[in-house]
A and B are shown apart, each in its own frame.
Chain A
Amino acid sequence: MHKKVAIIGGGIAGLWSAWELARQGIDSTVVERSAFLGGHVAGFACKATDRCRRCGACLLEDVLQNVTKSDRISSLLRAEVFKIEKTNGGFDLTVSQKPQRIFPEKCTDCGDCEANCPVPGALVRSPLTNQLSVDEEVCLFYKDGSCRACLEACTAGAVKLDGAVQDIQLNPSAVILATGFKPFDPTNKPRFGYGRIPGVVAAPELDSMLRRDNWPGDRRMRSIAFIQCVGSRDAKIGRNYCSRVCCGYAMRLARLLKYRFPEVEPSMFYMDIQTYDRDFDRRLAEAAREVRLVRAIPSEVRLGPDGSPEVIYHGPEDHRLSESFDMVVLSVGISPHAADLFGALAGLSYNRDGFLGADGEGVTTGQEGVFVAGTTQGPRSISETVSHAISAAAAVSSYLGNSR
């Protein structure tokens, strides 16, 4: 297993870097913690209405196709890096990989394992390929060995519950860190009632509802409030930055809802709308015809007398207003988490907002030979992430002095 580049994280940034390197003739190994490639984008719905709205979610399918076809890219799924050491002219990476539990080449997708599994969430499916995997954190077999229901139900012999974690050594000449971001956890802003008040959801949850086509489409779902900057532009909780993508994200979600369910009336509570596309003046005017824009960040979401969420905010001229909605969507920001994974490993530097690397848009990390791609370095949209991943691949290629 001697590959030239190790890429940590199999989301769109890592995959795109790998693909660009492959096109340069450089081999790479993608190390992915979860059971599936694709990262956050795999769970995003296409935001097209009657035309493409440029969310970029479909780029994942493109790059996955290229990555799976390329013999220059190998991937390690359910694998985590727990050591990076610099050696002479390269790195030693120790990766621990959990064995595969469900083998897609044998699986006939009959659904018997799911039908017999007693614990919700023990069997997980890729939102993208529908492939199955087992979550050892939830599955009873790994808790106390008490259950083998899926194994017994599977007639195709696709399930294998035993097998131990393996340590794998990689010796790449360069490393790209593309572990991505954590969505801000809205329970850290208790005043918005997330987890307490029915009808309050985080934007990615609404997104996956739309992706899986299970919108609770009934007459009781008309007024939808989007609250922007939840976990962004909030110095008090250590989020002294704009997450850059949530305005576009909420706008696209609202317009998609309106397009699919014309009875929906979306409102958006905002501080400042961030530009997210070329020709933004025209687009904003277009969006404002479909989405009611309210310039105020609500002070509170509380349980209204009829059981639906009620948004309290200060309107113009400082009047305190309250308004009841059928659903309140929290536009949660992008939080860093590379530091949780790598800490001070390999002498990496983090910027003041906690993202890996320096301020700005660069791809360096303070450690020679280690580069960063995508939201690991800071908030960015899908297409900005792709551009950034291309720049990271370019920097790696120059670093390796690749001349063909």
Chain B
Amino acid sequence: MNEQLAESIFLCRPFQPGEPVLNRVLVMGGDQTGLELANRLGREGLEVLLVGNEAGAQVSESVKVMAGSVLEEVHGFVGRFEAVLRTAGERSRERVGFIVAAQPAEIVPKYDAYGLSKTPRVMALSDLESMQRFGDSVEPRRGDWFHAAFLLGLQGESEPTEFARVLKAIQRLQNEERVQCYVFTRNLKVAASGLERLYRESREQGTVFFKFDTDGSAFEDGPEEFLMTFKDPLLGLEMELAPDLLVVDERLNPPRSLGPLVDAIPSSRAASPFLKHDSTRFAGVETAKAGILAVGPSRGVFDAETIAGDIEAVVLAVKKHIPDSLNSALAGPPEIDPARCTICLTCVRLCPHGAISFHKRAEADPASCVRCGICAVECPMQAIRLEPPAGEEDLIERIRRGLSNTGEGAKRIVAFLCARSAAQALESVGMPIRRKITPIIVPCAGTIDPGHILAAMEEGAQAVLAAGCYKGNCASVYGTVLAAERTNQARHALQEAGIDPDLVMFASVAGNTPATLVQTIRHLEAAVDRAFAKNK
């Protein structure tokens, strides 16, 4: 991972001085979606640069179409991005406030998966659609009837949006007389509005559906005819079909032109090939970095109807232009001590939100920083302070206070709890259990430091719990993974010192699973008892 990151770091430039340009948006388009989005933003009175669209498209006057331009690099932060564009060999730099990835999906026919290739009788769904759009007639029929077979998700699951396209293509074919259509599939994807109804109508109009659990059909492209042989999955009979037309389905992939945006959000490599993390914590069109938004295919949504809603969400995000700060109650972004910072770039590399740049020293952008604190813990020079937790002294003071208030007969357990998960769970835990621990609430489990865990033990804690989100759910992408690793480091250190490592543990606790938190606390109590018994 680090080697991959290294190449993008040196593209990270210092802050550009000057006023933020919150009214300029760069839209990465390529089809109708980009065009609609650009015009929609234009109507909001924003200035739009639309990249990757054919020249001559109908746009409103505040939209500048940069046909044939390619985005090469992105630097900076929300309100002050610098986009490096290449247009016919010329490089230009544009200052924009927001960047939206609204490129179309990459459509790849599945010829290879079926061992087929394109012939006049075998074509991809998009080919058939464009023939139908231009009124071209498909290959003439050989017999009285025209037989068309569609492959749909026989290899690799399909998407509802593809099934809708297949049904529409069948409808158009059936405008002619004596047409018989067949669909060869595994799982029909009807999970979209009105699609089940369309499917039933198609069946009533005579379309035959074969649903396979295993291989499906064998193909033989002979000089006379194209032959399909298969076993009818319902009746178990060997069947043969010689279609006049075989339509191959397509894979929908996220656009390939996301590279420069991925570079601008180092943590989004984990989301590859998409721009947006799969974690449910990134709602709607938001990515891990403020000001970079993902619409449709780049965030994993291929349904045109949903993309229309995405466009509205982008308008909202741009109008809002106050980055989501769940920790708005906190003070400012991390302070980086110039005397200590050696520009080692650890923070730049590890900030999940791409919020740090460097010039003479590292600097965090207040509008992009979500105050997760991962940078502060990772800084080898301890040059970064985040308020709160206000540094080591304050933390130890809180641990000390908590431990001194521990009730009679209770175990002295210090629990570092992530504000986005375990701390939420604690709120639903009954008082008797709550009194068993000294909670230290941290903005993200990624801020838990092995040093803090050991310090808690030194201050007299009998056991320490570190609790964060589940892997794949962290609001700071990998904070929880870092926390688990660091807890392990602390366990090793204890083991070296001859102390039972089971007195320190990491647990994943979701905000809605107080029971898991209770179990974990009881588990630690038992570990304390065991260690105590051994020492007797």
* Contacts from A to B (Cβ < 8 Å): 16, 20, 23-24, 44-46, 48, 50-52, 54-62, 65-66, 69, 109, 128-130, 211-213, 233, 235, 240-242, 244, 247, 272-281, 284, 295, 316-318, 351-353, 359-363, 378, 382-384, 386-388, 390-391, 393-395, 397-398, 402-404
**Chain A min CB distance to B213 (Å):** 6
Return the chain B residue nearest A271 by Cβ.
B188
Q: Are B190 and A233 in contact (CB under 8 A)?
A: yes
Indicate whether A317 sits within 8 Å of B193 (C-beta atoms), given known contacts A48-B473, A58-B280, A58-B473: no
- Chain A's interface: helix, strand, loop or mixed, by majority? loop
Q: Are A391 and B157 in contact (CB under 8 A)?
A: no
Which of B69-77, B143-151, B240-248, B504-512 forms contacts with chain A? B504-512
Q: Are A361 and B313 in contact (CB under 8 A)?
A: no
B500 at the interface (CB under 8 A from A): no
Residues in A whose Cβ lies below 8 Å from that of B159: 275
Q: List 27 A-B contacts (CB under 8 A).
A: A23-B324, A48-B510, A52-B471, A62-B281, A62-B420, A66-B326, A109-B431, A129-B427, A240-B197, A241-B194, A241-B196, A242-B190, A272-B187, A272-B189, A274-B160, A275-B158, A352-B194, A359-B194, A360-B305, A361-B309, A384-B306, A386-B284, A387-B310, A387-B313, A390-B283, A393-B316, A404-B319
Chain B contacts with A in 470-526, Cβ cutoff 8 A? 470-473, 508, 510-513, 515
Q: Which residue of B308, B324, B431, B510 contacts A58 across the interface (Cβ within 8 Å)?
A: B510
Indicate whether A273 sits within 8 Å of B316 (C-beta atoms), given known contacts A46-B512, A316-B233, A317-B235: no
B18 at the interface (CB under 8 A from A): no
Residues in B whose Cβ lies below 8 Å from that of A394: 312-313, 315-316
Return the chain A residue nearest B194 by Cβ.
A359
Residues in A whose Cβ lies below 8 Å from that of B511: 58, 61-62
Q: How far is the CA of A272 from the CA of B160 in the complex (A)?
A: 12
Residues in B whose Cβ lies below 8 Å from that of A397: 316, 319
Indicate whether A45 sits within 8 Å of B308 (C-beta atoms), given known contacts A24-B319, A280-B157: no
With A58-B469, A362-B308 known, 10 other A-B pairs at CB within 8 A are A57-B510, A62-B420, A211-B512, A242-B191, A272-B187, A272-B190, A272-B211, A284-B157, A393-B316, A394-B316
B303 at the interface (CB under 8 A from A): yes
Q: Are B512 and A398 in contact (CB under 8 A)?
A: no
Chain B contacts with A in 271-304, Cβ cutoff 8 A? 274, 278-281, 283-285, 300, 303
9 tightest Cβ-Cβ pairs between the two chains A and B = A61-B511, A52-B473, A391-B309, A394-B316, A46-B510, A52-B472, A394-B312, A361-B305, A244-B191
Q: Are A359 and B193 in contact (CB under 8 A)?
A: yes
Q: Are B197 and A352 in contact (CB under 8 A)?
A: yes
Residues in A whose Cβ lies below 8 Å from that of B197: 240-241, 352
Q: Are A382 and B233 in contact (CB under 8 A)?
A: no
Contact with A along B157-201 (1 / 0, CB 8 A): 111100000000000000000000000000111111111110010
Q: Are A362 and B316 in contact (CB under 8 A)?
A: no
**Chain B min CB distance to A53 (Å):** 8
Q: Which residue of A24, A242, A279 contacts B196 across the interface (Cβ within 8 Å)?
A: A242
Interface residues on B, range: 35 or more
Residues in A whose Cβ lies below 8 Å from that of B190: 233, 241-242, 272, 274
Q: Are A59 and B315 in contact (CB under 8 A)?
A: no
Q: How far is the CA of A52 from the CA of B471 in the complex (A)?
A: 6
Q: Which residue of B278, B303, B324 contacts A278 across the interface (Cβ within 8 Å)?
A: B278
Chain B contacts with A in 293-349, Cβ cutoff 8 A? 300, 303, 305-306, 308-310, 312-313, 315-316, 319-320, 322, 324, 326, 329
Q: Are B315 and A398 in contact (CB under 8 A)?
A: yes
Residues in A whose Cβ lies below 8 Å from that of B278: 54, 277-279
Q: How far is the CA of A384 from the CA of B193 in the complex (A)?
A: 13
**Chain B min CB distance to A59 (Å):** 6
Residues in A whose Cβ lies below 8 Å from that of B424: 61-62, 65
B206 at the interface (CB under 8 A from A): no
Residues in B whose Cβ lies below 8 Å from that of A384: 306
Q: How far is the CA of A376 from the CA of B319 in the complex (A)?
A: 27
Return the chain A residue nearest B324 by Cβ.
A23
Q: Are A109 and B309 in contact (CB under 8 A)?
A: no
Q: How far is the CA of A50 from the CA of B473 in the complex (A)?
A: 11
Residues in B whose Cβ lies below 8 Å from that of A360: 193-194, 305, 308
Q: How far is the CA of A42 from the CA of B220 in the complex (A)?
A: 55
Number of A-B residue pairs at CB separation under 8 A = 192
Q: Are B236 and A361 in contact (CB under 8 A)?
A: no
Return the chain A residue nearest B515 by Cβ.
A213
B428 at the interface (CB under 8 A from A): yes
Q: How far is the CA of A363 from the CA of B313 in the complex (A)?
A: 12
Q: Are B472 and A275 in contact (CB under 8 A)?
A: no
Return the chain B residue nearest A276 by Cβ.
B191
Residues in B whose Cβ lies below 8 Å from that of A52: 279-280, 469-473
Q: How far is the CA of A351 from the CA of B430 in the complex (A)?
A: 46
Residues in B whose Cβ lies below 8 Å from that of A363: 309, 312
Q: How far is the CA of A51 from the CA of B2 in the complex (A)?
A: 23
Q: Are A387 and B309 in contact (CB under 8 A)?
A: yes
Q: Are B515 and A274 in contact (CB under 8 A)?
A: no
B68 at the interface (CB under 8 A from A): no
Q: How far is the CA of A130 from the CA of B434 in the complex (A)?
A: 15
Chain B contacts with A in 206-259, Cβ cutoff 8 A? 211, 213, 233-236
B391 at the interface (CB under 8 A from A): no
Q: How far is the CA of A228 from the CA of B174 in the complex (A)?
A: 32
Residues in A whose Cβ lies below 8 Å from that of B420: 62
Q: How far is the CA of A130 from the CA of B429 in the complex (A)?
A: 9
B407 at the interface (CB under 8 A from A): no
Q: Are A391 and B313 in contact (CB under 8 A)?
A: yes
**Chain A min CB distance to B281 (Å):** 8
Residues in A whose Cβ lies below 8 Å from that of B281: 59, 62
B156 at the interface (CB under 8 A from A): yes
Q: Are A386 and B470 in contact (CB under 8 A)?
A: no
B103 at the interface (CB under 8 A from A): no
Q: Are B470 and A361 in contact (CB under 8 A)?
A: no
Q: How far is the CA of A386 from the CA of B281 in the complex (A)?
A: 10
**Chain A min CB distance to B427 (Å):** 8
Q: Which residue of B157, B313, B471 contacts A275 across the interface (Cβ within 8 Å)?
A: B157
**Chain A min CB distance to B158 (Å):** 8
Q: Are A395 and B312 in contact (CB under 8 A)?
A: yes
Q: Which residue of B193, B279, B285, B315 contacts A378 across the interface (Cβ within 8 Å)?
A: B193
Q: How far is the CA of A384 from the CA of B284 in the complex (A)?
A: 8
Q: Which residue of B193, B274, B428, B473 contacts A130 across the interface (Cβ within 8 Å)?
A: B428
Residues in A whose Cβ lies below 8 Å from that of B515: 212-213
Return the chain A residue nearest B325 by Cβ.
A23
Return the chain A residue nearest B480 by Cβ.
A52
Q: How far is the CA of A366 from the CA of B196 in the complex (A)?
A: 24
**Chain B min CB distance to A366 (Å):** 16
Q: How far is the CA of A67 from the CA of B324 in the complex (A)?
A: 14
Q: Which residue of B303, B322, B471 contacts A361 across the interface (Cβ within 8 Å)?
A: B303
Q: How far is the CA of A24 from the CA of B312 in the complex (A)?
A: 14
Contact with A along B82-124 (1 / 0, CB 8 A): 0000000000000000000000000000000000000000000
B421 at the interface (CB under 8 A from A): yes
**Chain B min CB distance to A18 (Å):** 14
Q: Which residue of A58, A273, A280 contacts B512 across the interface (Cβ within 8 Å)?
A: A58
Q: Are B316 and A24 in contact (CB under 8 A)?
A: yes
Q: How far is the CA of A316 from the CA of B279 in the complex (A)?
A: 38
Indicate whether A23 sits within 8 Å of B320 (C-beta atoms), given known contacts A51-B472, A281-B156: yes
**Chain B min CB distance to A122 (Å):** 22
Among A16, A130, A279, A390, chain B packs the most CB atoms within 10 A around the CB of A390
Q: How far is the CA of A274 from the CA of B185 in the complex (A)?
A: 13
Residues in B whose Cβ lies below 8 Å from that of A69: 329
**Chain A min CB distance to B424 (Å):** 4
Return the chain B residue nearest A47 by Cβ.
B510
Residues in A whose Cβ lies below 8 Å from that of B236: 316-317
Q: Which residue of A20, A48, A404 contacts B470 across the interface (Cβ within 8 Å)?
A: A48
